[in-house]
Amino acid sequence: MDLIVFNTKNEANVYVAGLIVQEINKNAFLTLGLATGETPKGIYNDLIKRYRENKVSFKNITTFNLDEYIGLHPESPDSYHFYMQEKLFNHIDCPKENIHIPNGCAEDLNNECENYEKLIEESGGIELQLLGIGINGHIGFNEPGTAFDTHTHITKLAPSTIEANTPLLVEEKKLPSHALSMGLKTIRQAKKIILVAFGKQKADAIQRLLNGEVSEGFPASILKRHSDIKIVIDSELNNEL
């Protein structure tokens, strides 16, 4: 695992966006795995900027998002569908049919999970996966205790995740208790992974990722078995390590 430290979040965002653009410019038909949450917002801003400057086109890429809340419609400002439209897709040239986000309102959620996994496979697999990390070590919505061999599945949110994400709600009164998430196996199968974490609140999780053992009690630890992973952090986090 390569640990890369930047003085500021902004420098880290520019670096990560640069890596993504580099991959797209090497392979215009790239399959990209995307994340939501507070962390990637600046990366998406920088991608939009580069698109406006004609430095990259997203018209042939395919995207797969990590997760979505169960029960939130794509139009809900609290859904990850809405987030992705607002923060990235409304501003770039990625065709709608190339964008994949699990449907948390599907009638048959198990079927939705199976289909999602099949679509990833049919696309040739994720070449570059962008990840954040929860304070409890979750990646996607794979909470502590999730088996390492899981594919896309229904997951119950941990109390600490509910606590961390509830203040971000815009319209919903209550955070959904469950979500659909790519599994740990799905994530591990990505050819390259970039995990980004900012701020001192993520220091314990990154410390454990770097120095702890590989265990299903700490989902991100599966990444220690991956051969091409970069962990990008800011100095505020690094100072606490």
- Residue positions annotated with a catalytic role: 67, 136, 138, 143
Determine the interface stretch with ligand GLP among 22-30, 33-41, 56-64, 109-117 (rule: CB under 6 A): 33-41
| In the block, residue with structure tokens 């569908």 | 81
Backbone angles phi, psi at 131, to 5 degrees: -135, 145
Residue 165's identity, in one-letter code, is N
Q: In whole angstroms, what separates CA 195 from the centre of its chain?
A: 8
Q: In whole angstroms, what separates CA 143 from the centre of its chain?
A: 14
Give the whole-angstrom CA distance, residue 129 versus residue 191: 8
On whether the CB atoms of residues 137 and 221 are closer than 8 A, the answer is: yes
DSSP 167: G
Binding mask 62-101 for ligand GLP (x = CB under 6 A): ----xx----------------------------------
Determine the interface stretch with ligand GLP among 32-40, 46-54, 104-112, 169-177 (rule: CB under 6 A): 32-40
Binding mask 144-163 for ligand GLP (x = CB under 6 A): -----------------x--
On whether the CB atoms of residues 112 and 120 are closer than 8 A, the answer is: no
Contact flag: residue 142 with ligand GLP (CB under 6 A): no
The β-bridge relationship of strands 2-6 and 31-34 is unpaired
DSSP 60: T
Contact flag: residue 39 with ligand GLP (CB under 6 A): yes
Task: Indicate the residue among 61 and 237 with the shorter CB distance to ligand GLP.
Answer: 237
**β-bridge partners, 131:** 195
Contact flag: residue 12 with ligand GLP (CB under 6 A): no
Task: Indicate the residue among 25 and 207 with the shorter CB distance to ligand GLP.
Answer: 207
Backbone angles phi, psi at 181, to 5 degrees: -145, 140
Binding mask 168-207 for ligand GLP (x = CB under 6 A): ----------------------------------------
Contact flag: residue 121 with ligand GLP (CB under 6 A): no
Q: In whole angstroms, what separates CA 181 from the centre of its chain?
A: 10
Minimum CB distance to ligand GLP, residue 28 (Å): 26
**β-bridge partners, 178:** 156
Among 16, 35, 182, 232, which residue interacts with ligand GLP (rule: CB under 6 A)? 35
Among 9, 32, 37, 150, which residue interacts with ligand GLP (rule: CB under 6 A)? 37
Minimum CB distance to ligand GLP, residue 220 (Å): 10
Give the whole-angstrom CA distance, residue 209 versus residue 224: 8
Q: Token digits for 10? A: 């902004």
Binding mask 217-236 for ligand GLP (x = CB under 6 A): --------------------
**Binding region for ligand GLP (CB under 6 A):** 35-39, 66-67, 132, 134, 140-141, 161, 165
